Structure 1
Amino acid sequence: MKLKIFEQNQHLKDLTPFELMAKDITILNGIVKGEPTYEKGRKTSTGYYLDKEQTNLAIEKTFSDELDENGFLKGLNILIKWFDIYGNPVLVKRVYVPLSVSESAEIIIKRRKRMIDYLKESGVRLGVKEYIDSLFNYYSNYQQSGITRNLLNSFIENGSDELQQAVTNENNQEIAGILNHILPNGTTVKDSLLNQIS
């Protein structure tokens, strides 16, 4: 077995696969933790590389949800793969992390916040920050029947679909104009927003 991590961690060569898989990969010599990938606020994978450019993948963690019969998050499945010098996953470890109700709720709230943060950062990178700022300000102080509501906060904290409904049925001409603005990738601001929060 010729694992990539052996290149800078010769002392690990004498370990059994079980001993090796018990090691804390974040403290191995020469390991660079890559940028995690997310899908609608949920972390899907993280790579550990042997180079700063993050092209030489040595270890990869992938994450998936474990749901109960009612669709509530009850745990996380983590799959850890160690790659050999040929790029093949030769060691595989599965880990299950059970979650209490409060831990599950905390994770779901963080995911929804990450969705909003993603939209904000995307706005900056796509050169439409002022549009996103206007939208988020508008939906944070949403006027409905004389009552001011923070639809962004309701979405983050409670998973309310009021934000989705407000965006879908927007009749304020100025806000509708922002929502219909076409982004450099060819989609509208509205489609991008709804894709994240729905």
Structure 2
Amino acid sequence: MVKRVDEAFGRLLDALTSLGLRDNTVVAYTSDHGCHFKTRNGEYKRSAHDASIRVPLVLSVPGRTGPAPRRLVSLIDLPPTLLDAAGLPVPAQMQGRSILAEAGEPDDDDHDDDVFVQISESQVGRALRTRRWTYAVVARDADGWDDPGASEYGEDLLYDLDADPHELTNLAGRPEYADVAADLRRRLIARMVAAGEPAPVISPVTVDR
């Protein structure tokens, strides 16, 4: 799949070059979601797992070269990035930030490097994906089709992506990870409020050992 996308994107750029349009055309390829093929829940997507939330993003901007930014990038960053690439001002009220100014900057292990995820239809869920952790909560009494959000959530998933990149061991509720969960809970609530949602109550989960 990656090979075919790379080939097709190259063919598109070749066509723009042959038409004399390459130097004034911005091209972006992405997707709205990934797919885990019912290996994580009863449908194909809509979970906080990497197979669902990680999507391709290929960007060609005339006059821009160099490596991509090393921070985590969200689809919410795409509109301001495209406006920036077109030389247009980015409205102050627009969420997200252009990634163009960060291209080629050195790697940054900033603690606050994270992406906020909202999940609907299969559940009313929220998640935070950092470089190391995936932390997800779900409103079990809410309807994913009818309810845009909830006032109460319960912890659902916690994965250590350094030790468990395939997300096979759910650490949510384990007492030895209580401090990690508390920090991610605080950060997730802050991201929800920044997105315009009321601050919810998130209940920790406990597991029997």
Does the pair score TM above 0.5?
A: no
TM-score normalised according to structure 1 size:
0.29
The answer to which structure has the higher helix fraction is: 1
User: For the pair shown, which has the larger CA radius of gyration, 1 or 2?
Assistant: 1
Select the structure that is richer in strand: 1
